[in-house]
Structure 1
Amino acid sequence: MSMLSFMGALEIGLIFALVALGVWISFRVLDFPDLTADGSFPLGGAVAAVLIVSGWNPWLSCLIAMLAGAAAGLLTGWLNVRLGILQLLASILTMIALYSINLRIMGAPNIPLLGEPTVFMPFVGENDAYWVQPLVLAGIVLLVKLMLDWFFSSQMGLALRATGANPRMARAQGVHTGRVVLGGMALSNALIALGGALYVQTQGGADVSMGLGTIVIGLAAVIIGETLMPSRTLYIITLATVVGAVMYRLFIALALEADFIGLKAQDLNLITAVLVAVALVLPRLKAKWRKPVKSAKPAGGSQP
């Protein structure tokens, strides 16, 4: 793999690390099967792209994109908590609605950002974009990770974790679980939308269909991270999620560049399915290998 390909894979991996952290909050912390990611990721990209083209500051555009993603997460949570719609169905309804909303926001199937200012522009020179952009993204991801570590060690974060682990016990302790679910879904999709806002700025444009398969990528990153770095410590879990997203993109890049395998860009979904399947099977295989083998005793006792 060339250095250019490696840095490109690292760049996309760091962006999807934000998506993976959002997916981790909904699936692992809240135990909420949420498919809104396929709509909130392009929503963040659409909002950021429209604002940047309109002359807004890129950083402020990213912040507003996060608010839009939070609103999408709130909608999914509201459908479940207030209207009693099943979690999975509520997220599917929001995801479907967001496709039309994204088209409304963009006013077209895609918006080019070539020549427009981005969050990377103040740091990038003429020939160093290939390594400066991943460095800026690494700083953003590190900041988000540290803020999540702090949040989940606070009283509000502990309430969110308790709600996902045992809602009945959380309610007995005075936690308003409905509000906590709404807040957790808003936080999850805000991070996913931030990933979408940064993605369009690295790719040079937004497309209404760019969210296809986002939830699968996020889940793959979470599962790979848990397999590579199994732990019950919070800051290691969030680190493993970030590492899982980066490793996922590196595996994809290696598979696509391996000439002897013969894979092409259209095989991306196939590679993703294989990687997720392997990541799911590995923990079971490791558990089998670690089981002690009991030595068989002779039926007639010890021989003299």
Structure 2
Amino acid sequence: MLQIILGAISLGLLWAVMTIGVYITYRILDISDLSVEGSIAMGAAIAAFQIYNGMNPFVATLLATIGGMLAGLVTGLLHTRLKIPALLSGILTMISLYSINLRIMGKANVSLLRIDTVYTTFEKLGLSQSNSVMLFGFICAILIICILYWFFGTEIGCAIRATGNNVQMARAQGINTNNMITLGLVISNGLVALSGALIAQSQSFADVQMGIGSIVIGLASVIIGEVIFNSRNFFGRLISLILGAITYRIIIALVIRMGMPANDLRLFTAVTVAVALSLPTIKSSIAQWKNGKGNQ
């Protein structure tokens, strides 16, 4: 059982990077960005292909991040310059990335078995593969949170947050909201692609379909983090995203341990997200019912 939980924590730390990316669009920008499902597979595809062909794993991971940022740029330009709705822009990018990822890898999947990855450095220090993934994932997650906490406190970062809060008010303050939306999408998809690259290296393969359902996983982690580890300050909310991703992975590991078929996991995730999103409405209905009963 301990090994299962440790494995879930390791994987949760890698998915936490993607969760932070989803949070930027879903909560900060108030945009539903479906290009995430293509970006995470793109990050995995670029990293796996380059590492397979002999590139340094850290450089390959950086290239994967840049690839995701370019995907976010495309989504941003489709939405802000061509005036295509944000949801449809993400869908168009996601669909096109499927073919692009196939072009990058040259086939449906690439194996990284017995090939050095970013985790090999820690394995050479005597750590096990799972402990190496956990340590590197923890370092990445904390570093990203610190950088984002600083960035969103700068003038540009505050402009992005203002754009997400109230577009009209942000424009009245002289903020170029189109640029801020595009920049937010670039950062978000870059983090998602980074997560994909790290996940591919941890599982020793990249697959063109690994991004399917990832947006639901990201939303589930965001919602769980907000509901269970609710925090009033921005830094605390970023930390709650990591805890939410880890909690989600532990829940999945436990339900599999209890005998749930793997084919039902996405249904379970969808139901979890639906219940979590409807909690405020449910609580409000219960409160109104209690007040009505009390008045009688």
Give the TM-score normalised by structure 2. Answer: 0.94
Tell me, yes or no, if structure 1 residue 266 matches structure 2 residue 249.
Answer: no
Q: How has the CA–CA distance of structure 1 residues 128 and 173 changed in structure 2, closer, same or farther, with 3 Å as cutoff?
A: same
Aligned to 2:187: 187
Q: Alpha-carbon deviations, 1:133-181, whole Å to 9, x = none? A: 2122111101101111111111110000001111111111111111111
Aligned to 1:252: 252
Secondary structure of the residue that 1:119 maps to in structure 2? Answer: coil
**Cα contact 1:33–1:88 (8 A) shared by 2:** yes
- Is 105-114 or 119-128 further displaced after alignment? 119-128
Amino acid at match of 1:136: F
Aligned to 1:90: 89
- Which ranges in structure 2 are unaligned for 5 or more consecutive residues? none
Aligned to 1:33: 32
How much does 1:245 deviate?
A: 0.9
Q: Aligned ranges for residues 122-137 of structure 1 at < 5 Å? A: 122-125=121-124, 128-137=128-137
Aligned to 2:57: 58
Supply the distance in 1 between the matched residues of 2:129 and 2:203 (Cα, whole angstroms): 12
Secondary structure of the residue that 1:210 maps to in structure 2? Answer: coil
Between the two proteins, what is the percent identity of the paired residues? 45
How much does 1:51 deviate?
A: 1.0
- Is 278-287 or 177-186 further displaced after alignment? 278-287
Supply the distance in 2 between the matched residues of 1:106 and 1:294 (Cα, whole angstroms): 61
- Hey, which of these two has a bigger chunk of helix by percent? 2
Secondary structure of the residue that 2:110 maps to in structure 1? Answer: strand
Tell me, yes or no, if structure 1 residue 99 matches structure 2 residue 98.
Answer: yes
The alignment's C-alpha RMSD in Å is 1.9
Supply the distance in 1 between the matched residues of 2:244 and 2:127 (Cα, whole angstroms): 29
Amino acid at match of 2:157: G
Q: Alpha-carbon deviations, 1:9-58, whole Å to 9, x = none? A: 11111111111110110111111111001100000000001111121111
Supply the distance in 1 between the matched residues of 2:240 and 2:94 (Cα, whole angstroms): 27
- Which ranges in structure 1 are unaligned for 5 or more consecutive residues? 299-304
Aligned to 2:161: 161
How much does 1:279 deviate?
A: 1.7
Q: Alpha-carbon deviations, 1:252-303, whole Å to 9, x = none? A: 1111101xxx4111111122122212322334445567788699699xxxxx
Q: Alpha-carbon deviations, 1:39-89, whole Å to 9, x = none? A: 000000000011111211111111111110000000001001111111111
Tell me, yes or no, if structure 1 residue 242 matches structure 2 residue 239.
Answer: no
Q: How many residues align?
A: 294
Give the TM-score normalised by structure 1. Answer: 0.91
How much does 1:131 deviate?
A: 2.2
